[in-house]
Amino acid sequence: MEIYVDGSFVSKDDARVSVFDHGFLYGDGVFEGIRAYEGRIFRLKEHIDRLYQSAGALMLEIPVSPAEMAEVVREACARNGLHDAYIRLIVSRGPGDLGLDPRKCTEPTVVCIADRIALFPPETYEKGIRVGAVSTRRTPTESLNARIKSLNYLNSILAKIESNLAGHAEALMMTQEGYVAEGPGENIFIVRGGRLLTPPSHLGILEGITRAAIMDLARGRGIPLAEAVFTRHDVWTADEAFFCGTACEIMPITACDGRQIGDGRPGPVTRQLTADFRALVAREGVPIAAPAHADNQE
Ligand code: PXG
């Protein structure tokens, strides 16, 4: 495996960053999780844009242009011979001293890893998952804006620990006020009376790229869609529910807090959007660069 670290591709064993890196010391940095399907990188521009916006909010200046970063992602897939991939871009504050002050860090660290991911066993996409609300609330926007995809994921990890201990397949997280927000690494949709509902971004959720793609697909199909504030009760009594994200794609939710949703199986809207999403990722996307040595073949 070849990993990009600060300007060059090195083998996995040689891919190292400093223990003084503030990404390691404080979670000071940003990242993106991106997928490639059948040789095409899905919504690469949107992911690159979000990375630079997250970095901008942290006043973290990425030492590589967005166009160069897009090339790094393509090359990481090509060098590792990946047709289907999960790509992780990480930009951290870089090495500094043992104080918090980011001004002491002069060289941000840039890493790109192209690998694979399987968040849930394949059969769960057919059966759906049982989720449960956790007591760990989403961090209020005033404290840490969820739109910044930062390296500081402890809020999600605490939710995940709670959910693991309770035996749920995934956690459902609420806002401080008790409204449904999202999963630790997924956005949520429910279907009620033929309408597709998802929490609005002002609730302090990550504006997921998969979420946006699903909203486009729903509009294309004429499925009534709204960004709406709703509660756990609305999830319990929904006809259908699903999580979505780059890592999990579309994951049907068949029970929440022990309450069966609909008939306890992935519903028709979820299945339709899953089929549409699979078709979309297969036809859209930026092609992965040809391997560097392809020209030399005789
Ligand atoms: N909400 C949160 C809090 C996230 O972290 C999403 C929604 C979905 O966004 P996209 O743009 O991917 O559709 C995320 C994505 C994991 C994992 O292993 C998930 C994410 C990041 C890293 C790992 O589940 N986040």
pTM above 0.85, yes or no: yes
In the chain, % of residues over pLDDT 70: 97
148 with 252, same domain: the answer is yes
How far, in Å, from the CA of 145 to the mean position of ligand 1? 15
Residues 38 and 147 in one domain: no
Q: What is the pLDDT of residue 118?
A: 83
Q: Could you give the C-alpha distances from 238 to 5, 35, 174, 189, 242, in angstroms and in order?
A: 46, 30, 17, 10, 11
Position 37 pLDDT exceeds 60:
yes
The reported pLDDT for the residue numbered 243 is 98
CATH code, domain with 11: 3.30.470.10
Segment 194-219, tens digit of pLDDT: 999 999 999 999 999 999 999 999 99
Domain range for 25 is 2-116
Q: Structurally, how many domains does the chain consist of?
A: 2
The pLDDT of residue 293 is 52
**Each residue of 107-126: pLDDT tens digit?**
999 999 999 988 788 899 99
* Percent over 90 (pLDDT), the chain: 93
Query: Which of the listed residues 246, 249, 277, 280 should we mutate to test ligand 1's pocket, taking the one with most ligand atoms within 8 A of CB?
Result: 246
* CA 170/CA 243 separation, integer angstroms: 10
In-domain check, residue 293: no
For ligand 1, the distance from its centroid to the CA atom of residue 188, given in whole angstroms, is 11
Same domain, 142 and 233: yes
Q: pLDDT tens, 231-265?
A: 999 999 999 999 999 999 999 999 999 999 999 99
Which of the listed residues 58, 85, 116 is the one where a domain comes to its end? 116
Residue nearest to atom 20 of ligand 1 (CA): 185
Last residue of a domain, one of 78, 99, 116: 116
Query: Does residue 83 sit within a domain?
Result: yes
Q: What is the mean pLDDT of residues 162-169?
A: 98
Q: Which residues line ligand 1 (CB under 6 A)?
A: 33, 119, 156, 182, 185-187, 206, 208-211, 245-247
Please tell me whether residues 252 and 133 are part of one structural domain: yes
Residue corresponding to tokens 């306890």 = 264
Q: Are residues 129 and 81 in the same domain?
A: no
The per-residue pLDDT for range 116-159, each reduced to its tens digit, is 988 788 899 999 999 999 999 999 999 999 999 999 999 999 99
- If asked whether residues 73 and 192 sit together in one domain, one would say no
Q: How far is the CA of 292 from the centre of ligand 1 (A)?
A: 31
Domain boundary pick from 84, 116, 148: 116
